[in-house]
Amino acid sequence: MNNRQLAEKAVEAKKIALPSYSNFHVGSALLTKEGKIYLGGNIETPSYSLTICAERTAIFKAISEGERNFSAIAIASDSPDYCPPCGACRQVIIDLCGNIDVIMINHKNEIKVVKISELLPLAFGDEDLKK
Ligand code: THU
């Protein structure tokens, strides 16, 4: 599975999003080291603040199925531009997936790949708990 194929899975995942209030569809595809893919869409609820982003949906789905080793996460959205993960998702990605690649795709089908550590420098983590 290459970066483009994973990004296309994220585009597909937009279909399973439930953005009932913002109507802004986001899809995410998380790749395990063994090559399995978990899809997630953003889910909004009437209480608004309990919304969950597409990235966290995919990550929590995978973790709750027993997965622990990941290599990349892709994100696609209704914005014509790249959709970077929000701050909360950045922390969850680094906490539960490690320093994986974040793949973003825009509406021109262009792809941008960055390490999560570039998006969240000086992140709090496991090591800080031991100090
Ligand atoms: N959203 C995501 O799912 N992922 C992101 O990276 C950015 C924002 C969702 C949250 C909310 O449902 C909608 O997009 C508008 O913010």
Q: From the CB of 59, is ligand 1 less than 6 Å away? A: no
Domains of the chain: 3-129 (3.40.140.10)
**Average of pLDDT values for 72-89?**
98
The single residue listed with the structure tokens 């992140």 is 123
Question: Does 118 participate in catalysis according to the annotation?
Answer: no
CA of 32 to the centre of ligand 1 (A): 22
Residue 3 near residue 101 (C-beta atoms within 8 A): yes
pLDDT of res. 23: 98
pLDDT digits (tens, 9 = 90+) for 2-28: 999 999 999 999 999 999 999 999 999
| Mean pLDDT of all residues in 68-90 | 98
Kindly indicate the confidence band of residue 59, based on its pLDDT and cuts at 50, 70 and 90.
Answer: very high
CA 64 centroid distance within chain: 16
Q: Which of 14, 51, 91 to mutate to test the pocket of ligand 1 (most atoms within 8 A of CB)?
A: 51
Tell me, what amino acid is at 131?
Answer: K
Mutate to test the pocket of ligand 1, among 16, 77, 104 (most ligand atoms within 8 A of CB): 77
- Please check whether residue 70 is in contact with residue 31, taking contact to mean a CB–CB distance below 8 angstroms: yes
In the predicted structure, residue 62 carries a pLDDT above the cut 90: yes
Q: How far apart are CA 104 and CA 113, in angstroms?
A: 6
Averaged confidence pLDDT in the chain: 97
